Amino acid sequence: MSTVAGGSPAGQARAAIKITWNSATSVVISGSVTDVCPADGAGAYLWLRGKTSATTNNAIGPQLLAKDTNGCGNGSLTFSVTVPNGGYKVQTVHLTLEEKDGSGVCDNSGCITKVTSYNPYA
């Protein structure tokens, strides 16, 4: 998944993501996040949200999974996270990739992209 380059910030965020559903209660998200040139003062941020089968307090996140904030300097940042579930079935996971500066500013509609995955065991 990737954001659209151009506007402000001028760069782009990219993420290579693998979502592995091991069971109704276990999902692992792994991959890499890249803040693509130019070095524009913005970074790439990957956020996790989701929902469990709990009747109350069933929200997962928001949790920052990974961020790459130094533009052209270090390539990609890799990560692997087991989604927290409080012992309940994980129904969905929602991933949001953002390209934004430190204050969260983005002036184009392409600086955020999202993907949702549904539990095949639920």
Q: Enumerate the domain spans of the chain.
A: 12-118
**Which architecture characterizes domain 12-118 according to CATH?**
Sandwich (2.60)
Reduce the DSSP state of residue 107 to 3 states and report it: coil
Residue 45 — φ and ψ, nearest 5°? -130, 130
DSSP 111: G
What's the pTM value of the predicted model, to 2 decimals? 0.86
Q: Residue 16: its pLDDT value, please?
A: 94
Q: Residue 13: its pLDDT value, please?
A: 85
Q: How confident is the model at residue 47 (pLDDT cuts 50, 70, 90)?
A: very high
Q: Residue 37: its pLDDT value, please?
A: 72
- pLDDT, tens only, 103-120: 666 666 677 889 999 999
Q: From the CB of residue 35, how many other CB atoms can be counted at a distance below 10 Å?
A: 27
